[in-house]
Structure 1
């Protein structure tokens, strides 16, 4: 029973992280950079929780506690890896949004000075 709860923790935290990252990209596109950064931090916390559960399951297996590979476990791993990838890509997209905003501001300044 605890094993299923641990697996669900991975799924829930992975899903929360993924959602936070996608919201962060939307915020960054709209110029809400501080909110985007906060959402990425929230995603990182959720991923840390999921990773800690995953690590405890791996350590239990190393100690000889055999875990049956179930579809639910595969689903959890899929959620976690997907969330990690989305986080990494979101960070890159947010950085591009920041650069675009800086360039737009410089351009406005140049136009207003003419």
Structure 2
């Protein structure tokens, strides 16, 4: 599985934008992919996400959440071992719930 910082980012941005009441026009995806291709592979996840999020014309910006709260949902997560994911809820047991860009549960 490709877990590079660029892999699946456009999928994540499309899903996150819908969950925040925004929309990425399909006509913009090819342009966004070109911009993503130009982003430094060694950039921080927050910087890469913010760069492409803003290029898509979406409101908001990525920021590091040290102690995330349910009111901040949804939020993106990135791990070099698992890639990008989108957390969408928190269970009664306190565990965060979401899915990776490939649809697998996190």
TM-score (norm 1): 0.21
Q: Larger relative contact order (C-alpha < 8 A, sep ≥ 6)?
A: 1
Based on CA coordinates, which of the two structures has the bigger radius of gyration? 1
Q: Higher strand fraction: Structure 1 or Structure 2?
A: 2
Q: Higher helix fraction: Structure 1 or Structure 2?
A: 1
TM-score (norm 2): 0.22
